[in-house]
Amino acid sequence: MAAFDLVVRGGTLITPGGEEQADVAVLDGRIATIGALGRATAATVIEARGLHVLPGVIDTQVHFREPGLTHKEDFESGTHAAVKGGVTAIFDMPNTKPAIVDEATYEAKFRAVRKRSWCDFALYVGATPQNADQLAVLEQMPACAGIKVFMGSSTGDLLVPDDEALRKVLASGRRRVAVHCEDDQRLKDRRSIAEAAGNVSAHPEWRDEQSSFQATSRLLALARLAGRRVHVLHVTTGQEIDFLIGHRDIATIEVTPQHLSLVAPDCYAALGTRAQMNPPIRDVVHQERLWRAIADGLVDVLGSDHAPHTIAEKSKPYPESPSGMPGVQTLVPLMLDHVAAGRLTLRRFTDLTAAGPARAFGIARKGAIRVGYDGDFTIVDLQAKRTITADWLASRCGWSPFEGRTVTGWPVATIIRGRAVMLQGEVLGEPAGHRLRFTESTDFSSSDRMARNASS
C-alpha cells in the first residue's frame, strides 16, 4: 500500500528557508514531509530532477466573466487556462452581468462555478453606494476574497465614484479592500481626448498618470481615516509607487506582467487595441519604476488582470473598444523569462505569486512549501525555451498579446492538493477545484449554511 498520495522526487524546492534539492510528499491533500524520501512509495510519483518546484502560483486578479458568459469566457475555460499555465488558485472579480453585489448574486455564482473550476478559487463581492452597509456581511461569504472597489469606470457597471460613497464602503467590514484606482471625474473630463484622437495610442493620455494618482491619494486618505487596509490593484505609475511608500502599514501593492512586459508607445503601434487595458500600459519611465519597486520589496503581489475579450470586440473603433487582455495562462512563462533575463530572482517571483498573496489576504494553508500546508506546486523548467502560440492558449477569447514571443522558462506541471492537474502541457482528469479559505473569514470555521452545503 502506498505511503503517500504523491511524491515529487529530486527537484529543487523553493521553501521559506531557501532553495534545497529534496523530495516532497503529500498525503490527504497536505504536505506530509520534505527531505530525502528514499524508497517511499506513492500512488503518483513525479520525477523532478533538473526542475524547480515552486509553491503553487496564486493569481489574485482574474475576470472570468461568469455569470453572463460575455466575452466568450466562463469559469471552466478560464481555470483550464490557469492550470495549463501553472496557476493553482485564482481570485475572480465581480464585474459580471449581473454584478456580484448581494447575497443572491454571490450564491448563484458560487453554485455555478464550484464544480467547474480546474483550480482552487475565491470570489470578490463588488462595492456600490447602494450595498455599502451590507459589505461587512458579504465579505464573510464562503470563498469570498473580500470587497472590490472600482473608483473609475472600466468594464461593467460597478462604480464607487465619490468620497462619500467610498467612505461608507471603507467603514463597513474589516478585511482588506481591493481597489481599482482611477479618478472617475477626471476620466469623464478627459474622454474627449480619446474621442478626438480615435486611436488607441491616446489611451495613456486620456487615462493619464494623474487619473491614477488622484484616485490612489484619495483612497489612502480615506482608508487611513477609516483604519482600513487596502490593496491597490495594477499600479502603473512612479508617482503612485513613491506615494505608497509612506502607507505600507495599511496598503499592499499589485503590479501586472503586462505593465512589466509591454511599453508605450510601441505596444499600441504593434498591437492596436489588443494592448488596451485599464489603467493603461505606460512608457518606459514608469515601467522602470515598477521594476525598481519590485527589487526594493515594495510590491506585494503579481496579478494577471486576465480580462478576455474576443478579437471582434477588440476590433471596435477606439474608444468604444473594450479594455482588457487575457493573461492568466501567460503569467508564469512571462515572469520566468524575466527571471532568466536577471530582472528578478526566482525567490522574489515566488514571493510575489505565493507567499505575498497569502500574507496580504490571509489565505489559509497556501503560499509556501511547508509541512501541513496544501500540496500545491508549480513545477517549472527554467532552461526550457518555448514560443507562446495560439494553439497552446486555452482561453476562449483565442488570443494573447504575447503570441509569437519566445520565452526562457516554462511550467511543466501544476499540482493542486497533491493531485496532478497538468503534466507537460496536458490537463488531466476533471475539474476538482476547492474554494479557498481565509483566516479572517467566518468561513474559516466552515460553520455557515453555504459552507455546510458545499461539497468541496
Range 132-150 average pLDDT: 97
DSSP state of 141: S
When mean pLDDT is compared across 10-24, 72-86, 325-339, 434-448, the lowest value belongs to: 434-448
DSSP state of 282: -
Question: pLDDT band at 449, cuts 50/70/90?
Answer: very low
Between 341 and 98, residue with greater pLDDT: 341
**Residue among 437, 350, 396 at smallest CA distance from 120:** 437
Pairing of strands 144-150, 406-416: unpaired
CB 151 within 8 A of CB 183: yes
* pLDDT above 70: residue 325: yes
Residue 305 DSSP SS3: coil
pLDDT tens digits, residue range 219-235?
999 999 999 999 999 99
Between 450 and 263, residue with greater pLDDT: 263
In the chain, % of residues over pLDDT 70: 95
Pairing of strands 4-15, 42-47: parallel
- Spell out the domains of the chain, with CATH numbers in brackets: 4-53+373-427 (2.30.40.10), 55-361 (3.20.20.140)
CB 178 within 8 A of CB 172: no
**Residue among 187, 121, 192, 123 at smallest CA distance from 159:** 187
Range 261-290 average pLDDT: 98
Q: What is the pLDDT of residue 387?
A: 98
**CA torsion sign, 234 to 238 to 240 to 241?**
positive
Question: pLDDT band at 443, cuts 50/70/90?
Answer: confident
Q: What is the pLDDT of residue 240?
A: 98
Question: Position 358: which residue type?
Answer: A
Q: 464544480: which residue's cell?
A: 115
* pLDDT above 90: residue 454: no
* pTM reported for the whole predicted model: 0.96
